[in-house]
Each structure stands twice: as C-alpha cells, then as structure tokens.
Structure 1
Amino acid sequence: MQQLTEAGQNIVNDLSSRYNLSHDAVIHMMVSVNNGAGGMAQFNCPELGGSGQWMRGGMTMVGDMFNHNLKATVDNLCNELSSALASTQVFPVIPAGRPGSPNWWPGDLGIPFSTGAQNFIRYAVFPQRLAVENNGQVTVYDTLDHSIGGVSQQQGGDSSLSFSSQYGTVSVNSLPVISGPGVPPPPQTNFAAPATNEPYSAPSPSIMPETPAAPETQPTPVPNTINSNEAMNLLEQLGRLRDAGVVTQEEFDHKKRELMARI
C-alpha cells in the first residue's frame, strides 16, 4: 500500500467518510492525481465506475458515461485531492533519484527541460537524454540529435511511448539505452500477419485437406436411329419453318438428309 504521512492519512480518512468510499479507493485517486501533477488523473477504480479520466476545470470521463452523479463525485473528489496535494505533504519525502520521488530521475542528469506523466509512466527531458519511469524502474535514453517537443503514450493499455522531434514522430524504443531495462515494445495486435519475419509458405500438399472431386456429369445419350413416322413429323415441322422463312432451303435439305440417314 502507498505510504502516507500523518496529514495525508487524515485527508484520506476525511474524504473516505464524506464520499462514502473505501480508503483504498481514495488513495488510488490521490496517487492518480499526484501522477498527473495535480491537474489531471487517469484511473481505474471499481468504486468509481472503472476506468476514467479527469482534468481540472475541464473534462471528466467515467465508465458509466451517462451517470452524471458519478461524474460530479469524481470531479469534486479530484479537485479536493489536487488542493490537498498542493498545500499538504501527503507522501513521505523520498530522496531525489529514487522511485516515487518528485525528482525520480538520476541526479547527474540535472534539471529537466520538461516533465510529464501518462498512465503511471513518467518522463523527463534533458539535453541529449530522455528519462522514463515505468513501474518504478527508470530507463535513460540517448536522444541523439533529436530535439524533443513532446512525449505521448499509445492508447489502449500498453506501455509504448513515442516522441515528436524535427524528424516527426519517433518511437522511444528506437533510441539507444544508456541505463535501465528499457520500455517494453507494444504487443502484437495484427494477428493476420505472421508473428515472425520469415516469409509465409503454403502448407505441404501432403497435409492439405483434399477436396472431393465433383462427380462427372454423363451426357444424355442421343438415339442414333429414329423410325419413319418420327422422321416424317420432323420433316413436316421443318417444312413449315422453311415456308415461314425461319430456315433456308439449304438448311432444310441438310436436316432432311440427316434425318433420312437415321431411319
């Protein structure tokens, strides 16, 4: 559990009683607001509707988006926590350069140009260095010739980070690691693509399922012979077609020879 000063514990007791929340829920929200430098919070608290976001003087989002009473509760609670964090020593003082300290980065880096936090990941930008704290572990990167303008985290729950520079948007994982474990790369989400870089090859024909061959269609046998009555009837029909101009005399004669050969 997060360590608190006596004053911090008194604040948690008071807020827990007035908002009818557990101590753990209030502490969770206090840590979230603190990670957002008192101006914002990203949290996942079951007693407050699960995942949500809060921004001072701006947007409040909760899992139950149409529950306006819950939104008001989160907004009021976070505002009170922000004021308490600004005026009271809520957390014990942690020496600089250690996890949990406001100055959590290695002391030899000096004073950062900018700092920020998102989804419990903190970062600080220095000349030619970028420090990232993830789950209490600090990694220092060499920023090479990048002029970093901002750091952002991929939405969706993973810990992938990117930053903007004069070269556009660049992944933090592309930078050389000076010290620390590094930030894990984003998980594979394109499950349609092969998991490795090896080219895809079709299964061997020996293991591919065989498709049953369609049954052969036997042609309907055509009788080679006809009797004389059938031949006469056909010739009469052809004669009428010839007289009507449907078939020519040449076509009539050809069909007549064919019928006579089959008698």
Structure 2
Amino acid sequence: MNAIFTDVSFQNITDVANRYGISVNAVTDLTYNLMASNGTMAQFNIPELGGGGQWMQGGMTMVGDMFNYQLKATVDGLCIELSNLINQGAIQYKPLPKPKNHNQSGFQSGFSGNWWGDLGAPNSTGSQNNTSYAIFNNIRRLAIQQNGKVTVFDTLDNQIGGVGQQQGGNYSVSFTSQYGNVDLNTLPIVSGGKEVSNPIQEQQQVENVVSNQQEPDFVDQTKEPVNTGINNTDFEEDIFVKIEKLAALKDKSILSVEEFENKKAELLSRL
C-alpha cells in the first residue's frame, strides 16, 4: 500500500488496536481495506483475525472460523469503530506531493507514481494484466490506464471494494461495490486519454440544461398542450416526471440548488 496515514490517524488506529488487544499492524491492514470502500465494507486476509474474512456495514460479518463468535464480535467491533473514524475524517491519508514530471492530462507518466493529478491520494491502487487502476471512493472517481490511455470514471454511489479479472469487455479488470459487479459502461466518463475537461464547455452545458436548449425533446414534453383533447392528468404526470429528471441533475451537481428550484417553480406554474 503506497498511501501513508497522517500522524493523528495512526494514533487513532493505535488506540483502537490497544482497546481490542490486537496488534497495530493487523488493525492498520484492516483499516486499509476499509478505506478502499470509504468505511462501508472490508475483505481481508489477516492471520490475527482468523485469516480470510469479510465485513459489511449493516450487520454482515464473516470470519474463517465461522463458529468462533468471540472472534466475529471482535472483527465487527473493530470495523464499526474504524468505519466511524473514517466517516468522521479522523482517519485520513497524508497528502502526497505533486511530482515535477507529469503529462498534459495531469497524471504522472506511466501511471505508476503516488500522485494522480488533481484527484489526490487514492484509497487503493493496483495493476494486473497490463492494466493499472486507482480507486478514489472519497471523491467518487475510478482511474484506469490501459494501452497507454487513462480514463477517469464517476463511480456515482458505488463504493468500490473489490477488484478481479475481467472475462471479456473493454478492460482486463473488473470491480465490485456494495451492489455487486460494477458495469463500467454505465459509469459517466469524466475524462479519457490525454483529454481534460473544459470548464467553459461544462458551464455552457449547465446553462443549456437550465434554458432547455440542450435537449429539445425535454422542452417539447414540458410545454403546455395546445390540443384541448389531451388528458390533463397525463400532462400533470409528465410535469412531475420532468421535475424528477431535474432533481437527478441536481444530485449529480449538474444543476445548482437555485437553478433546480427556479425550474421546478416554472414547471409547477404550468399546472
């Protein structure tokens, strides 16, 4: 693991280890696994904790010795405390310095260093089958380098905690989250290759959405019907569907809260 915990974080990890009578190294390894999912789950293989095991927020705890209930309670307690500390920001990685040599896309050449452009320090990294990846659950990003091209995905609400070998598809690695296998084809691409996002273009896209110029079909569907034979109930339902779509854009930070409220008020005024 390349990332290093801050001094305060390491002290918090040490305090938890001492309370449970577990070695600091074992608890540190468990923390690394939890950090990969922002504290929601952990898959580990730690001899001091019974070897292979799994923990998931919400009550699922599995250990190698399935009938050792004391060990299971210990693992559950450790994961809950560490997860709470992660969510509170009491366990964090040290910020890593920006190297002098990096390419135009903001990523270090070769995708093999500790710094990953403006994304900062990853929760976890790895490389297999000529593919490198970095997981940033705290900022909902997944960066993959394959065949010399770096692609950055928005992971939405997926907390990626597992990596495996992909059978077919565009990438040789696969990822799992709290929902199961992650289909990369369904994730929005933030940037690909050496291309970087253009803030001016992104702002124009937001303005187009607000002014109903980006998607003509969306505008046509929200206009008041001119045909008096149209069912008013259907029209009202259509208005609420459009408000739900705007809410989804707001949740993805494409629309601001103010823009969403203004557009919602406009649509409701047509009822």
| Structure (1 or 2) with the greater helix fraction | 2
- Computing the radius of gyration from Cα coordinates, the structure with the larger value is 1
- Give TM-score, length-normalised by structure 2: 0.43
- Which one has more relative contact order, counting CA pairs under 8 Å at least 6 apart? 2
